[in-house]
Amino acid sequence: MLAHVASRTPRTPPARETSRLSVRSWRIKRPWLAPRACRTASSLARVAPLASSRFATLAHAISSTNTTAPIRTRSVDRVSPDAMVRSVMSWARHPLSSG
């Protein structure tokens, strides 16, 4: 068991609780005002043109893209897990001879 050793400097007292916000957090926690009706109306009016221009951009990109030959892929036969285990086990019984 360790003996308690006295310290020459006293412990610092616990910090007081404060209700004042820090400089960084006051902007985050302040209440926001509701949007003005004129701002909301102008925002709603822009939604439709934005959506239509998005499709126009996509159509332009598709029409201006050169078509290329399809990439050739080799189909791989799928092997069941049981067949894979049997294959590994048969290889383990008859390993390749090093010659």
Q: Express each pLDDT in 10-57 by its tens digit.
A: 888 877 776 665 666 666 777 777 767 766 666 666 666 666 677 777
Share of the chain above pLDDT 90, in %: 0
Measured CA to CA, the distance from residue 89 to residue 13 in angstroms comes to 71
> How big is the CA angle at 46 (ends 41 and 44), to the nearest 5 degrees?
35
Q: How far apart are the first and last CA of the chain?
A: 70
pLDDT at 99: 47
Predicted TM-score (pTM) above 0.95: no
Angstrom distance (rounded) from CA 53 to CA 59: 10
DSSP state of 61: H
